[in-house]
Amino acid sequence: MSHHSEHQKMPAPVTQAQVKPVLDLARKLDIATNPHSAAIFEAGSGGFQVWCIPQDHPKGWDGIVMNPGAFSKPCEFVGSVHWKWEEDAIVGLEIETSAYALADQKPDEFCNLTDIPRDFQRRRIFNHDADIEWLKEKITWLFAEAGVPLPPFEYEQAALSEIGPYILAHYISDSDEYVVIVSPELDPQEFCKPGYEVAHTLEIWKAGDFPVDVILRPDHEYQEAEIEPDEGPLVEQYENASRLGDDGWLEAAMEDSISGWDE
């Protein structure tokens, strides 16, 4: 995972006394005791936690069953925020998300392992982009309601290879072809140029270090003479892997041939 910091000009250093209204409001909007739909917080001394409810949750949580348990309404934990200190000033908000409900209710798709084995084809539940964006919205709203300047967010950004499968899409026209390694949650049709069509797609899980969301074309000058011009090496291996249902071929194929494809 890579560290992400949102640089923005802060109006002035934020002190512990200045953020007290934020924590006071979070306690008023407490998930455990307040049945109002805006009450999704759980305050601590150096930050707070944020929960979601059936009518207000991150993208991708549709169908997740939520129960109230000991709380005031059905809910599930999403993430937390902690103050980042420099001397006596709060200079940032360290945020993180953990979608435990997804791992519990969709175990075939998600897991709560910190390190996923190489061939383990399930998504991690930590710091998904959609969860992070939803959490930032709720934190921003709470600070605004409390009338407190918002420090910049800082968080560890999940690698694409930890979020879900890529799609290797092969596009063809009457006289040309290209491929795109499409990031999780994007539609291969977004990369289909006029006059082309999507010929094949294949889910792959081992492409995190390779160029994504860019058009890769065969460099015919690079290809060896014995390779027929209408079928480059990456496309040929893709078609073989597609027939065999093998997604472990990409790393070796890319190492062998990526220097012969131009963005």
Encode the chain (263 residues) as per-residue pLDDT tens digits. 445 555 455 446 788 999 999 999 999 999 999 999 999 999 998 999 999 999 999 988 999 999 999 999 999 999 999 999 998 899 999 999 999 998 889 887 776 555 554 444 446 678 887 899 999 999 999 999 999 999 999 998 765 445 567 789 999 999 999 999 887 778 899 999 999 999 999 887 665 556 778 898 876 554 444 444 444 555 565 556 555 555 555 555 544 544 444 45
In sequence order, the 6+-apart residues with CB closer than 8 A to the CB of 106 are: none
Residues in the chain: 263
Q: What is the pTM of this model?
A: 0.60
Same domain membership, residue 26 and residue 154: yes
Same domain membership, residue 216 and residue 92: no
Total tally of structural domains belonging to the chain: 2
Q: Identify the domain boundary among 162, 189, 210.
A: 162
Same domain membership, residue 243 and residue 153: no
Same domain membership, residue 156 and residue 32: yes
Give the domain range for residue 257: 166-262
Same domain membership, residue 137 and residue 40: yes
User: Which region holds residue 221: left if phi is over 0, alpha if psi is between -120 and 50, else beta?
Assistant: alpha
Q: Identify the domain boundary among 126, 147, 162.
A: 162
Same domain membership, residue 199 and residue 128: no
Same domain membership, residue 111 and residue 232: no
What span, in angstroms and rounded, lies between the C-alpha atoms of 245 and 247?
A: 7
Same domain membership, residue 110 and residue 191: no
